[in-house]
């Protein structure tokens, strides 16, 4: 009988509305507002429409030929999440109880925990307390008066493509109704009860930058072996090319593209950042949506690394391929959001 009563009360508790609601809002940078100016009317037009009527930011000296305005707009929707960027959102727990004349209906012991489920693993997330204007951080606690809220911020670097699920669990202690107080049997818990709920938010992480690579062999360099003898050493050389395509919806600026070589290779960039006595400036390429740029690196075997030379000989003897290195890419979005991507170990073609 007691077992049946516990099951029934548990079911009724799930149907009862919670005193605390949860709101999840993604944090992202704003974008510049667009304005669509009207064409300048001619003096012979019977109906002359002022140019300022079509501007989002009217001023005394408007630039009616420029589509971007000084106004900033918030994203109208969740937007796209890209691999290599940081996913940030705020979790807001609100006390939905009505205020009482006796100062009751205070929700205590409010705790928020979150984890993100990626295609391969589940990662618990660290929560940081949000800084709210006109609120002293020392006064932010786990007790919420009616109409107050507790905000936490989570951040996670997206490293996998596919479906992601943000799971948020809220636990709190609320005052009991008079009927519930009479049913309390445990000492020290009269007048309160602990409640919890869990919500899931699903989103898809898309590929922002597509990387396609290929390698080519160069004639080896014949040098002295460095031991004072007449033996010559043949140092292998490769050229690694990579095509980078912007798969996103907004432009990005490539800040850094580096090939981290594996011993015994040395990498030399053949791109915009290579030393040049003619051009001192550095013009990082900007990729619009679906734009493609190509980068290249020269890899040369270095002498004096016996351990690396031995590993290279084993790789070439085993399958005729050499492990060259890993490609590391960093970029920024139009409003300054950072993104980074690292490839796996890149190999040469089979000999």
Q: What pLDDT score was predicted for residue 132?
A: 61
Q: What pLDDT, on a 0 to 100 scale, did the predictor assign at position 143?
A: 84
d(CA 241, CA 214): 5
Query: Residue 43: its pLDDT value, please?
Result: 59
In angstroms, what is the C-alpha Rg of the chain?
31
d(CA 26, CA 87): 8
Location of each CATH 2.60.40.2910 domain in the chain: 18-26+78-206
Predicted confidence at residue 190, as pLDDT, reads 53
Q: Count the residues in the chain.
A: 351
Closest CA to 85 of 190, 188, 203, 205: 205
CB of 107 closer than 8 Å to CB of 173? yes
CA 76 to chain CA centroid, Å, is: 18
CA 64 to chain centre: 36
pLDDT per position in the chain (351 positions), as tens?
A: 334 343 443 344 456 889 999 999 999 888 888 877 766 666 555 566 666 666 766 666 666 667 777 778 888 788 889 999 999 999 999 998 888 766 678 889 899 999 999 999 999 999 998 766 445 555 556 788 888 889 999 999 999 999 999 999 999 998 876 544 444 455 444 578 899 999 999 999 999 999 999 999 999 888 766 555 556 778 899 999 999 999 998 899 999 999 999 999 999 999 987 766 665 666 789 999 999 999 999 999 998 888 888 999 998 888 889 999 999 999 998 888 899 999 999 999 887
Closest CA to 19 of 91, 100, 108: 108
Spatial neighbors of 4 by CB under 8 A, at least 6 apart, are none
**How confident is the model at residue 136, as a pLDDT?**
53
325 forms beta bridges with 261, 346
The torsion defined by the Cα of 181, 185, 187 and 191, in degrees rounded to 10, comes to -10
CATH number among 2.130.10.10, 2.60.40.2910, 3.30.2130.10, 3.40.50.300, domain 18-26+78-206 = 2.60.40.2910
How are beta strands 81-82 and 192-206 bridged, if at all? parallel
Q: What is the pTM of this model?
A: 0.76
* Residue 316: φ, ψ to 5°: -70, -35
What pLDDT was estimated at residue 335?
81
Which one is the CATH code of 209-347: 1.10.287, 1.10.10, 1.10.3470, 2.60.40? 2.60.40
């Amino acid at each position: 009988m007691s077992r049946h009563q516990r099951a029934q009360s548990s079911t009724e508790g799930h149907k009862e509305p919670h005193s605390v609601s949860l709101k999840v809002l993604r944090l992202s940078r704003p974008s510049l507002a667009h304005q669509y100016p009207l064409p300048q009317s001619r003096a012979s037009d019977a109906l002359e429409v002022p140019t300022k009527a079509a501007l989002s930011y009217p001023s005394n000296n408007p630039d009616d030929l420029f589509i971007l305005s000084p106004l900033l707009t918030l994203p109208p929707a969740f937007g796209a999440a890209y691999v290599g960027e940081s996913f940030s959102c705020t979790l807001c727990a609100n006390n939905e109880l009505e205020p009482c004349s006796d100062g009751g209906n205070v929700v205590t012991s409010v705790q928020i925990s979150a984890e993100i489920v990626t295609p391969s693993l589940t990662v618990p997330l660290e929560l940081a307390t949000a800084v709210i204007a006109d609120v002293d951080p020392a006064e932010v606690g786990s007790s919420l008066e009616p109409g107050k809220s507790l905000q936490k911020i989570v951040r996670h670097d997206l490293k996998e493509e596919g479906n992601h699920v943000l799971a948020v669990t809220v636990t709190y202690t609320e005052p009991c109704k008079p009927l519930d107080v009479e049913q309390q049997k445990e000492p020290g818990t009269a007048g309160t009860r602990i409640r919890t709920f869990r919500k899931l938010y699903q989103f898809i992480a898309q590929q922002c930058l597509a990387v396609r690579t290929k390698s080519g062999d160069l004639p080896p360099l014949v040098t002295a072996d460095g031991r004072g003898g007449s033996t010559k050493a043949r140092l292998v050389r490769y050229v690694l090319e990579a095509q980078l395509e912007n798969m996103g919806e907004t432009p990005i600026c490539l800040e850094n593209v580096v090939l981290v070589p594996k011993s015994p290779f040395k990498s030399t960039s053949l791109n915009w950042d290579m030393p040049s006595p003619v051009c001192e400036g550095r013009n990082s390429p900007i990729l619009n949506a679906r734009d493609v740029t190509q980068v290249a690196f020269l890899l040369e075997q270095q002498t004096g690394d016996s351990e690396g030379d031995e590993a290279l000989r084993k790789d070439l003897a085993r399958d005729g391929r050499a492990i060259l290195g890993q490609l590391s890419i960093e970029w920024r979005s139009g409003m300054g959001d950072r993104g980074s991507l690292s490839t796996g170990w890149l190999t040469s073609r089979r000999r």
